[in-house]
Amino acid sequence: MNAYKQILIAVDLSDDSQKVCQKALEVTQGENIHIFLLHVVEFIYQMGTSYDPMFYPSLDDLSENEEQLIKLSKEKMAQLINEMNIPTSITLESSVLSGIPKTEILNLAEEKKVDLIVCGSHGRSGFELLLGSTANAILHHAPCDVLAVRTKKSKE
Ligand code: AMP
């Protein structure tokens, strides 16, 4: 089997993200490995828990909140990278994008021609289904191999 060299790790920045990243590092072998670490800020989803149909933020509020979320995500991402202890044989490029997670993940995989996508089997939104909806979409539409790391919401 050829070793994976261009790996995309998708993280939702939940508590399981560290486990997903460690698993990705475990399956990498050899030299010239490049990791793309991606988090996608999905703005409407993030507002979900306090949704009030009578509350319509102005566009200015919206972009301000979005900027705030992106800033927060970048900070969490930096913390995650710090905890990953990346070996010197691996180069890492991280991005925080906004949009629909499955779309952005699949687009980046195509654009960077990665040979493996690593994600969690379940994320923040995961109920006890076989796979979370983002993981399911990645598995069905990825242009390459996919490693779905079993996370704690997986059904035993
Ligand atoms: P889900 O299918 O939403 O339960 O999440 C499963 C996995 O998809 C997570 O463990 C992440 O690897 C990935 N994922 C979900 N949401 C995002 C996101 N907003 N940004 C990047 N990756 C995500």
Q: What is the pLDDT of residues 111-125, one digit of tens each?
A: 999 999 999 998 776
CA of 143 to the centre of ligand 1 (A): 17
CA of 138 to the centre of ligand 1 (A): 9
Cα distance between residue 145 and residue 19, in whole Å = 19
Q: What is the pLDDT of residue 137?
A: 95
The residues, ordered by sequence, that sit 6+ positions from 83 with a Cβ below 8 Å of its Cβ are 18
CA of 133 to the centre of ligand 1 (A): 8
Task: Identify whether the C-beta of residue 97 lies closer than 8 Å to the C-beta of residue 41.
Answer: yes
CA of 87 to the centre of ligand 1 (A): 25
Q: What is the pLDDT of residues 2-46, one digit of tens each?
A: 689 999 999 999 999 999 999 999 998 888 999 999 999 987 644
**In the chain, where are the structural domains located?**
6-150
Tell me phi and psi for residue 52, to 5 degrees: -130, 115
42 Cβ below 6 A of ligand 1: yes
Task: Identify whether the C-beta of residue 118 lies closer than 8 Å to the C-beta of residue 7.
Answer: yes
Task: Identify whether the C-beta of residue 15 lies closer than 8 Å to the C-beta of residue 110.
Answer: no
Domain 6-150: CATH superfamily is HUPs (3.40.50.620)
Q: For CA atoms 46, 15, 102, 131, give the dihedral sign.
A: negative
Q: What is the pLDDT of residue 146?
A: 97
Give me the mean pLDDT over the 128-141 stretch. Answer: 86
pTM score, two decimals? 0.87
104 Cβ below 6 A of ligand 1: no
Out of 38-42, 102-106, 113-117, 151-155, pick the least confident: 151-155
25 Rama sector, left if φ>0, alpha if ψ -120 to 50, beta otherwise: alpha
102 Cβ below 6 A of ligand 1: no
